[in-house]
Chains A and B, each alone.
Chain A
């Protein structure tokens, strides 16, 4: 029950209902081991990160407003990436082993690359109309723009850079991977989860586009 409770608590908003459904089944499973296997299996839902589904114009309008607000954040992310690059450049100079030097170079290159790409993609915040119909169309356009970007050459390279960045983080530890096995294991787990999330991004965006289309279809 505790495992199922944890899954419900940490499930993403779009998966909460499914996590609840999984958790409720535990009470009706005969046998403690079968119930435990069910509960452990239900943690698979935690890997599926999705926003709350958009089922009405109000939901879509809210998402449109959040898009508009996030348009100005690219500069902050790029600044963080450039700072990370600078820090790892200093670490590169003081690196004790070849592994650390390679990892630091990977971090410098990927963070500079990600910083520049995000900066180049930054757009100006737009004044939004109050009309729900306009907000819905704006949301759809933004999602399509995101999807097309993620599928483009630059988008794919940005995702690859993201994965390499996290791999580089695991390998930069002083003393090598065996110096701190717990940190290494945790780092590998984070890398795997981040890779899965990054690879699934275009599909998640397409899913949101389908939700907006469904909302538009219902009101036509």
Chain B
């Protein structure tokens, strides 16, 4: 099944690439990417479906409920580097002021 590409997905992948080996909280990703929960979580769910993202529950501390944690898998890291790299190339290729005419 092909993974749908979108600017929001690329933002989430770029965020994961900031700290590749660290488990992340959903709210932290939301805050750093500027994406609301209703936009972010379908992206995370799609990444998990394609086995690009793994999930885990935090070890429960006294008085605090455990939180859901997310981290890219090895395939996910590879995919993220491709997508974020491709987006950077596209951005560099686009002329700044609409190109030269005449």
Is the CB of A142 closer than 8 A to any CB of chain B?
no
Name B68's contact: one of A21, A37, A38, A210 (CB within 8 Å): A21
Residues of chain B within 8 A of A42, CB atoms compared: 37-38, 41
B41 with A44: CB separation less than 8 A: yes
B65: nearest chain-A partner, CB-CB: A24
Is the CB of A207 closer than 8 A to any CB of chain B?
yes
A19: nearest chain-B partner, CB-CB: B41
Name A28's contact: one of B41, B51, B67 (CB within 8 Å): B67
Known A-B contacts A37-B36, A38-B37, A48-B42; the reply to A25 vs B1 at CB < 8 A is no
Residues of chain A within 8 A of B30, CB atoms compared: 38
B38, B64, B67, most chain A CB atoms within 10 A = B38
B41 with A22: CB separation less than 8 A: yes
Is the CB of B73 closer than 8 A to any CB of chain A?
no
B67 with A24: CB separation less than 8 A: yes
Is the CB of B55 closer than 8 A to any CB of chain A?
yes
A20: nearest chain-B partner, CB-CB: B68
Residues of chain B within 8 A of A41, CB atoms compared: 36-39
Give 6 A-B contacts (CB < 8 Å), ordered by A residue: A18-B45, A24-B65, A41-B37, A42-B38, A48-B42, A207-B49
Known: A37-B37, A203-B1. 16 other contacts (CB 8 A): A15-B45, A18-B45, A21-B26, A22-B26, A22-B68, A24-B65, A24-B67, A24-B68, A27-B64, A38-B27, A41-B39, A43-B38, A44-B38, A44-B42, A45-B41, A48-B42
